[in-house]
Amino acid sequence: MQLTANNKSDDRGPSHWGLFLLPQFLAFIVFSNSGCALFEAYKTPAHANLPEAIGEHREPLSDLAEAGLATNPGTEPKVEDDSPAVVRTGSYSLKNLMSGLCLAFPDSGQTDDPPIQERCRGSDSQIFVVKREGRGNSYTLRNKLSDKVLEVRARSASNGAQLWQTVDNQGDAQRFGFDRKASGQFTIRSLSSGKVLEATDNDEDEGVVIRQWDYEGHTHQVWALTEVGSITPLR
């Protein structure tokens, strides 16, 4: 909710600022001078008369985590940063935020059937080697057991299209981007279709097929990545 805004000029050029009131009585002030922007966060008591009292009561926040802005597991993910995430090459399990189940290939990962979600066991069929391909937000996801990579079947651009595992042919349908949606939460986006991986029909059950769909901001489209050997999801 924006409370007030102002435009002014000084010897550094025109500037603009706005005061915002967010949950937990957080006020953000944005300044811009000659193309430079500053962000400041302040915690204010409930009785503060904003904006007049901001100077009297303000308490700087050094870390947004102190403000309680991070989403809780199992809740609708809050988009706090929609920029591409740089994921280092490594072996990861991928857990669906809604169901808490892991991305896997059925039948011990040896068939061309579509990936599913199942209880996380740490088995090789649930482990994917995430490798950055060249520069930018482009990755392959190679199943550790089968040594095949995830691909959008028939390079489909349709909602509901299936994925499968196949040999690496360096095609766009085998390239995916990781977009950070909140702390520890990512979408996995096909670079050929622009659609993201999701659990079919928002289903929390084991064995549900993972497909591609337009991103709609739901938790069954968001994933937590945990590197093998770590107990903490990637941030």
Q: Give the CA distances from residue 215 to residues 161, 211, 212, in Å, rounded to whole numbers and listed in that order.
A: 14, 12, 9
Per-residue pLDDT reduced to its tens digit, 179-235: 999 877 999 999 999 999 999 999 999 999 999 999 999 999 999 999 998 877 887
CA quadruple 132, 133, 138, 144: dihedral sign: negative
Q: What is the pLDDT of residue 63?
A: 36
Between CA 11 and CA 193 the distance in angstroms is 48
Do residues 103 and 94 make contact, with C-beta atoms less than 8 angstroms apart? Answer: yes
Do residues 179 and 186 make contact, with C-beta atoms less than 8 angstroms apart? Answer: yes
User: Could you tell me the fold of the domain covering 90-227?
Assistant: Trefoil (Acidic Fibroblast Growth Factor, subunit A) (2.80.10)
For the chain, the structural domain boundaries read 2-67, 90-227
Does the model's pTM come out above 0.85? no
